[in-house]
Structure 1
Amino acid sequence: MGTGSAAASNPIPAIERNVDHAELEPGDTDTDPISVSAEVPESIEATIDFSEVELADEFAEPELAVTPGGLLPMEPSPIEGRLRKAPLRVPDELEECGGFTLFGRRIKSLLYTTDVAVIRNSNADAIFAVYPFTAQPAITQALLTASEAPVFVGVGGGTTTGKRSVQLAAVSEMQGAAGVVVNSPAPPEMIEQICAVIDIPVIATVVRCDAVAHAKVKAGAKILNVAAGKDTPAVLRELREIYPNLPLIASGGRSSLSVRETVQAGANAVIWTPPSAQQLQADMMRRYREAEVKPEVPIMDPVAAADVNPLESARADVPIPDELIAKATTGGPKRQRPFPQLFFKGRRH
């Protein structure tokens, strides 16, 4: 449809003159309308994007989902116990990880500890139970009993190698471990032997992106644990370029900046080291000491108190009765001692 027909169907609206602010041209009157040359739409819709504006909690409306039962909140209220909670929460930066799927479970954070009290009070997705001692099935069983999350247990690679590491891996799988971890000195041949015996994934620790790391992946390692210290982000980038689909985990350090750097380097999950139970206990006792209030010393009335001389608390300008002075100095009227009863009194003759 042309412009002329549109103008015919929609007449151009007229805007009345405002004599206070408009200037009249020669030949115009106050009642003449002003012709608008541009076409004005019938309705103007304006939208404002509030996506970048942070609203307070009391003003933000929760997201709702349409269900057969009606509208329900997308994020229900969390369930916490009256006594049992999860005070050790992993850093929020770990939510930026893509994670990896293990037996249908999404894992983004791993808790690096063997303390059962810390394990029971954390919300990490999995437990990374590696310790600098010879691996023992009794320790593995204790960790599996205490943990509600999947546990990755160490089976050696440094001091413990060869046939014993293979046997420990088999026993750990029977006990219920989600995966086994071998240390960086473990040769690719040992990883291949472990993979031939167990069905749970083998996590191989690497310190650099070299031929040894490639050989461990070829031997059957399903996950690589990058432990390169300060060079961890650089090693992660190199491995990610070569293995785009291989799960990579690494330690994120203690600061939020280092955790974010590890995630951006390509880590699928981050190993988080929590504060020890001793540090948490020391912090708790410090708060208890700061909140402790010294009890007030009660003020005793010396006159009403027992075994107190009333003259010691009397003011100098207060007259004291003579009876009170005599009682305080002499101890009051003396009581006569009864006559001692003889041993033969009351005996029958």
Structure 2
Amino acid sequence: MVESNELDLTVTEVRTETPAIRSITLARADGAPLPSWEAGAHINIVLRSGERRSYSLVNPSGAPAATEHPLHYRLGVRLENPSQGGSAFMHGLKVGDTIKATPPTNNFPLRRGGDVVLLAGGIGITPILSMAAALTARRQPFRLIYAARSRDQLAFLDEVQNLAGDKLTLHTDDDAGLFNVDALMRSLTGDEQLYVCGPGPMIDAAIAAAKTLGWRDGRLWFEIFSASAAKPGDAAFEVVLASTGASYLVPADKTILAALLEAGVDAMYDCQRGECGICQVGVIEGTPDHRDYILSDSEKSAGKLIQICVSRSKSPRLVLDL
């Protein structure tokens, strides 16, 4: 969907944080203040194709000037292999380049009160670092676990260490094996809130553990930092829009949202990871193949709603209330 309030931004700094991660600093060309944001927020960068990609805002400082009408935004971007276009575009940016972005949106807000545990997997440190800064400024108790495959993939490490100090636990898979999310969650016996940001398997493990342990709603919060990949056996199917009767083919390697956008359909969306619910539409006919993190088990069983950014169809034809 086209945004009428897009920001015109200029790249003011590019830094290499790890071999695969760069931080990119953006500002208005005239130096005017930018819209305010809170920990967990992201902006959508508009690619040359017109598609948008979401990137979390990074703030290692609890100072109000960093988030209240700031003079710049800072992003952390991992170069994906293969890239779906967004990370390659971002890694190609140079100082002086101009881009368009949407104002900050927050689908992963930090709640007030209580003890907090932060878990970051890889590039998932970007919103988690901002949360640690906000909690420090609030003097709210927290601890932070930062996991990555190897030490050279721990982006923003100096800033994380300076901010979190003895509240920080580092984990690298090449030294200690895959991080055990289930074990962490079993150790949290004081009703702490857990915020997790990382790759899909880490989020899936956290959701499964929360169900097994009987965690109450509102104790686990998460944001996934990888789009749902095509699965073996995925097949093409037809999508029909009830409002127009128009029919579109969704290939095996594309989402419903991508197919509609390529066809010029003005569909609402944001995260493109099945988390925010912005792209949700009703299902009139057909059987959805749910791959989102929004719908409850009962809603998925009912088959009347679908998140078109990640979910597919089990039936050859899907009629949407769109």
TM-score by length of 1: 0.24
Query: Relative to total residues, which structure has the larger helix share, 1 or 2?
Result: 1
Greater C-alpha radius of gyration:
1
Higher-RCO chain (CA-CA 8 Å, sequence separation at least 6): 2
